[in-house]
Chain A
Amino acid sequence: MKKFPLLFIGIFLTVAFSFTGIVLTSQIQYGRLKPVAIEEGDQRYPREPVGLAQQGNTVYISLGCLYCHSQQVRRKGFGADFERGWGDRQTVPRDYIYQKRVLLGTMRTGPDLMNIGQRQPDPHWHYLHLYDPRITTAGSIMPPFRFLFKKQKIQEEPSPNALKFTPGYHAPVEEGYEIVPTDRCVALVQYLLSLKLDYELPESRFTE
């Protein structure tokens, strides 16, 4: 193989082949999906994310949550995603069309979060869990995100968001003070609560 042009054409064609086959074909096949309704005139899904939840999404990205938590549900019978309650149906490409950055994830050091908003709808659970995962889940190896909280003096009344520790938990907080989530933390929890697989799509109905 002495001829540069021949070698180069081969090198070019092999990568062009996979780029066309994998990337461009996908873009052509389903790069323009739109939300759809099951029946004509119904609410169309997926919903566009709004407000605080979207800010929370950037916190999720900047903390690298994706490296331990996936956001994809495999079909019933392929793994135990369905049995574990991670989603009542398989997720499909259309579920992700409003994600500016698609956060499928490839690791489940922690559980899948595609449906966490339905599984744990209580924001206070999330605050405690983020402050110290072992309060809500004994044996968890998730790092504590205490830097998402601040200690402040209690004004006339305790804040509604203030952490309510379980009895016996040694919280580093003095009498007259409370620990509250920062704005970033509130946004992050709103984002987590917005992750709900509570709608059906024509191509993916709830599994029996």
Chain B
Amino acid sequence: MISTTSGTIVIENEVESVKTKLKLAEIDASMRFPVIFFITSALVWLGIGTTFALIASISLHASHFFPNWEWLTFGRVRSAHLNAMAFGWGNNIVFAVAMWMMVRLCQTKLRFPWLMITAGIFWNIALIVGIAGILLGQLTSVEWLEMPRYVSPILGLSYTMIAIWGIVSFLYRENSHVYVSQWYILAALFWFPWIYIAVQTMVIWFPARGTVQSITNWWFGHNALGLWYTPIGVAAAYYLIPKVLGRPIYSYYLSALGFWTLALFYNWAGVHHLIGGPIPVWLISSGIVASVMMVIPVVVTAINHHLTVVGFFDHVWHSPTLRFVVFGAMSYTLASFLGSAMALREVNVVSHFTHATVAHAHHGIYAFFTMVMFGSIYYIMPRMLKREWPSALLISLHFWFVAVGITLYVLGLTIGGWIQGLEMNNSQIAFIETVKHTIPWLISRSVAGSLMAIGHICFFIHFLWMFMSKKTAGGPTLFKRAGEEVAVK
């Protein structure tokens, strides 16, 4: 009796799972064009942003070899780099990954995909105009908001037209359970327009008086990371780790704790960019407290992810998606700990105003966010194109070049920046000497950046190749295990 019953259950389960798979395939089909559109746009911007990054990085130690062109000056190119990466690569990939996860988790088909694509086209046109504006000298010199102000209404409007579908899908969801990734995505979709409109209003359109501007600026600047890119990165990790491993997330309770503490503390952390600056001390103190409290969501999320993966680390090694995502999730933990430490006055007095801050920003936005997004693309694209990645070798090259590159980047600039800070605080050392001592580390950054650029080129080639290839059989493309074929189930 018992065996019969369990046999029936197995068959029923299989029928269920086939049904679910069919449904997911249908949902994926409805997302096909928007997702491919946004991923392709994101990758084009990644290429553009990488190019600007290399120019900016090299110009810091070799500016005297640069031609006498105004648009090529450091202040302009680094701003073009930041905006191409943040709003070109970052936002486009968020639109693709977050929307895809959202409709899948809501088990509902995407409505009006063409509207999303149209809005996406406007988003990208506004970016092109905005970044050209930066290079031609209309940059605002407001950090994270360099694009001339006339593009912001178009950006805002097209953002709304895209983000609204996340909320619509949620309201029309066909399953009752709401997964942790959905909280993060919903929150991010709502938080980003709030902070963007607030900062545009109070800094660019109707500037507040004095350093209220700076406070608003950094409330936005830090929250762009904390309330926009980070939630999506965490959501993707929460979605993909259990998905690839085929086991549930370790704890619902920890997920909820991690989400609400992040929502509460990250919001307040931005003021730590102004420690020692001309703003009220109580604000700085509250920013430091919030930055330190960030340890809670970070530890909680790390434990939750770790206990989901524990015992399955060989999968992490062999699945391209998981290798990138887990690298990203671990970087999130590390970068956040360092961030909390750098907010302490004793540490900040050294690290503030130095290249260590730049290292930290890239630790968060690249080693965490970008790596998780790479992992997501490896998972999503085969489901969009109904074919597999053509080459495990190219994925491997992509991973190693960017992983080694970003590690070298963060290590070099953190050490160099720390030395720079110590020397800057020692008035016995002439300022120009502190500048000269940063040059080797700036060169290490250019080397690291080149490695990352090579990784990106491998990825671009692979991405194009995938469109042309026909590999559909043989299961997903995985990294080779010792003594096994490349493609294993």
Residues of chain A having any CB pair with chain B under 8 Å: 1-2, 4, 7-8, 10-12, 14-15, 17-19, 21-23, 26-27, 29-33, 60-68, 70, 72, 74-75, 78-80, 83-84, 90-97, 99-104, 106-111, 134, 137-147
Cα-based distance from A55 to B427 in the complex (angstroms)? 34
Supposing A7-B186, A14-B267, A63-B75 touch, asked if A101 and B207 sit within 8 A by C-beta, the answer is yes
Within 8 A of A (CB), among B410-434: 424-427, 431-432
Docked CA distance A134–B177 (Å): 65
The answer, yes or no, to whether B68 is at the interface (CB within 8 Å) is: yes
Choice from B68, B268, B274, B427 contacting A18 with Cβ under 8 Å: B268
Complex: A96 Cα to B277 Cα, angstroms: 12
Whether B357 lies near A26 (C-beta < 8 A) is no
In angstroms, how far is the closest chain A Cβ from the Cβ of B168? 12
Contact A146-B357, Cβ < 8 Å, known A19-B198, A79-B276, A111-B431: no
Q: Is the CB of A93 within 8 A of B279?
A: yes
Q: Which residues of B contact A83 (CB under 8 A)?
A: 427
CB distance from A141 to the nearest CB of B (A): 6
CB–CB A22/B432 < 8 A: no
Q: What are 13 residue pairs bridging A and B, where the CB atoms are less than 8 Å apart in the complex?
A: A8-B190, A10-B263, A18-B223, A61-B140, A64-B79, A67-B141, A79-B352, A80-B427, A92-B278, A93-B210, A100-B207, A101-B140, A109-B438
B109 at the interface (CB under 8 A from A): no
> Within the assembled complex, what's the spacing in Å between the Cα atoms of A101 and B206?
11
Interface residues of B in 375-405 (CB under 8 A from A): none
Closest residue of chain A to B56, judged by CB?
A67
Q: Assuming the A-B contacts A97-B210, A106-B143, are A70 and B353 also in contact, with contact meaning beta carbons closer than 8 angstroms in the complex?
A: yes
Query: What separation, in Å, do the CA atoms of A103 and B277 have in the docked complex?
Result: 12
Q: Which residues of A contact B146 (CB under 8 A)?
A: 64
Beyond A63-B75, A64-B75, A101-B141, whether A4 also contacts B170 by CB under 8 A is yes
Q: How far is the CB of A76 from chain B (nearest CB, A)?
A: 11
CB distance from B243 to the nearest CB of A (A): 20
- Report the nearest B residue to A86, measured CB to CB: B431
Write out the residue numbers on chain A whose beta carbons fall within 8 Å of the beta carbon of B190. 8, 11-12, 15
Q: Which residues of B does A touch, CB under 8 Å? A: 59-61, 63-64, 66, 68-70, 73-76, 78-79, 137-143, 146, 170-171, 176-178, 183, 186-187, 190-191, 194-195, 198, 202, 207-216, 219, 223, 227, 256, 260, 263-264, 267-268, 270-271, 273-274, 276-280, 283, 286, 345, 349, 352-355, 357-358, 424-427, 431-432, 435-436, 438-439, 442
Residues on B with C-beta less than 8 A from A95 are 278
Q: Given the interface contacts A29-B280, A102-B214, does A141 sit within 8 Å of B68 by beta carbon?
A: no
- Interface contact A68-B75, CB-CB below 8 Å: yes
Kindly list chain A residues whose C-beta atoms are within 8 Å of the C-beta of B60: 109, 141
* Known contacts A19-B194, A93-B279, A144-B64: A66-B141 contact under CB 8 Å: yes
> Given B68, B227, B270, which contacts A22 in the complex, CB threshold below 8 Å?
B270
- The 6 A-B pairs at the shortest CB distance, nearest first, are namely A64-B75, A18-B267, A83-B427, A108-B353, A143-B63, A74-B276
Q: Are B142 and A27 in contact (CB under 8 A)?
A: no
Given A15-B263, A104-B277, A106-B143, output 6 extra A-B contacts at Cβ < 8 Å: A2-B177, A22-B219, A29-B280, A64-B139, A102-B211, A109-B438
Q: Are B432 and A93 touching (Cβ within 8 A)?
A: no
Query: How many A-B residue pairs lie within 8 Å, measured between CB atoms?
Result: 214
Closest residue of A by beta carbon distance from B142: A101
Which residues of chain B have C-beta atoms less than 8 A from A26's C-beta? Answer: 212, 215-216, 279-280, 283
Docked-complex contact B349 and A79, CB < 8 angstroms: yes
Q: Which residues of A contact B138 (CB under 8 A)?
A: 62
**Residues of A contacting B76 with CB < 8 Å?**
63-64
Bound complex: CA A62 to CA B137 (Å)? 5
Q: Shortest distance in angstroms between A129's beta carbon and chain B's nearest beta carbon?
A: 12
In this complex, what residue of B is CB-closest to A12?
Answer: B190
C-alpha gap A134/B63 in the complex (Å)? 11
Contact with A94, one of B68, B140, B210, B263 (Cβ below 8 angstroms):
B210
Chain B residues near A97 (CB-CB < 8 A):
209-210
- Give the one of A80, A90, A106 with max B CB within 10 A: A106
Determine whether the beta carbon of B286 is less than 8 Å from that of A107.
no
Complex-state Cα separation, A140 to B60, whole angstroms: 10
Q: Which residues does chain A contribute within 8 Å of B431, judged by CB atoms?
A: 84, 111
Q: Is the CB of B210 within 8 A of A66?
A: no
Contact A109 B260 (CB under 8 A): no
Known: A11-B191, A106-B353. A78 touches B276 (CB 8 A): yes
Are A2 and B353 neighbours in the complex by a CB distance under 8 Å?
Answer: no
On chain A, the residues within 8 Å of B74 by CB distance are: 64, 67-68, 143
Q: Which residue of A lies closest to B137 (CB)?
A: A62
In the complex the two chains form, is A93's CB within 8 Å of B276's CB? no
Smallest CB separation, A131 vs chain B (Å): 11
Residues of chain B lying within 8 A (CB to CB) of residue A94: 210
Cβ of B64: which chain A residues have Cβ within 8 Å of it? 134, 144
Q: Which of B75, B435, B439 is close to A66, meaning CB atoms less than 8 Å apart?
A: B75
Distance between A195 CB and nearest chain B CB, rounded to angstroms: 15
* Chain A contacts for B68, CB-based, 8 A: 144, 146-147
Which of B137, B183, B211 interacts with A1 by CB under 8 Å? B183
**Most B-side CB within 10 Å, residue of A67, A68, A92:** A67
* Given A65-B75, A101-B141, CB of A141 within 8 Å of CB of B61: yes
Identify which of B139, B214, B263 contacts A11 (C-beta below 8 A).
B263
Bound: A90/B279 CA distance, A: 11
Q: Which of A67, A100, A102, A139 contacts B435 (CB 8 A)?
A: A139
Chain A's closest residue to B273 (CB) is A106
A15 and B273 contact, CB distance less than 8 A: no
Most buried by A among B142, B143, B278: B278
Chain A residues whose C-beta falls within 8 Å of the C-beta of B178 in the assembled complex: 1-2, 7
Which of A15, A30, A144 has a CB less than 8 Å from the CB of B280? A30
Q: Name the residue of chain A whose CB is nearest to the CB of B350.
A: A79
